[in-house]
Amino acid sequence: MFEEGLEDLTMGRGVSKWWEKIGKLVVLYGLDLTKIQGGEWKKHVDKQVRRKAIQDWREEVENKYTMRYFKFKEEPKFEDYLADNWKYRFSIFEVRTGQGPLNWLLQKWETDNDGKCSMCGSEEETEEHLVVRCRRFGSIRNEMLEILFQGLSEEGWNTFQQMGDSDKMAVFTAVHPGVNKDLSAKMVKRLSELVGGLIVQRNVKAERWEREKR
C-alpha cells in the first residue's frame, strides 16, 4: 500500500488527499521518501521535519539582530527569565532581544536624543555598554563577575575572560549553554536579577530626566 502510494506520488499520478499532504512535506522539508522502510514513514517524517526546523532556526539566529545572543544554542529551547520581580523579568527579555527602550534605538525617533548613555554619557547606550562597560554600574558588574569566578571551572573562567562583549552578554543573560551549565541554579538566578535590576535602574533615571526636561 505504502509502496504503491509512493510510486504514484513520484510519477505524478493522481493521489489521495493524504498523499497530497505528504507531497507538500516533501517540498517544504526536503524529505527523501525512498529511505523509508515500510511502516517507519512517520518516524522518518518527524525526524526530517525537526531537522529542517532546527536548520531554519539556526539561519535566523545567524542573520537576525534580535537573536544574536542565542547563537550558542544548538536548537530552540525555552529560557526562563529566572528573576521573581516582574520588572526584572521584562528587562531581561528586552536585553536578550536587544529591543529595550535604550538611547541607541530611541535616537532614531527622538530628535533631541544623541544616543549616549543615560548613566555615564561616555558612549552609545546599548545593552552591551550598560551591562559590560558602563562605569556607573561597576559595583553590580563586579558582583556578576564574582559569581562567575566562584561558579565556573578554571577553563570556563578563562573562556569567559577571552570573550568579546557580545559573547559575555550571552553569559550574563544566562543563554550561553557552554558556560552557564557550570553555574548553580541559584547563581544563574542571581545573575539574571542583577542584569534586570541594572536595566530597571537605568530606566528610572531616564524617566526622571524626561520629566525634568518637560
Residues 6+ apart with CB under 8 A from 188: 82, 174, 180
Q: Which of 5-9, 10-14, 19-23, 133-137 has the highest mean pLDDT?
A: 133-137
Taking residues 137-158, report their average pLDDT: 94
pTM: 0.73
Asked whether 25 and 31 are in contact (CB, 8 A), the reply is: yes
The answer, yes or no, to whether residue 149 has pLDDT greater than 70, is yes
Give the pLDDT confidence of 78-97 residue by residue, as tens digits: 676 567 788 888 888 888 88
Confidence class for position 207, pLDDT limits 50, 70, 90: confident
Give the pLDDT confidence of 152-175 residue by residue, as tens digits: 999 999 999 999 998 999 999 888
Confidence class for position 212, pLDDT limits 50, 70, 90: confident
Residue 26 and residue 58: Cα distance in Å, rounded?
Answer: 21
Question: Over the chain, what is the mean pLDDT?
Answer: 81
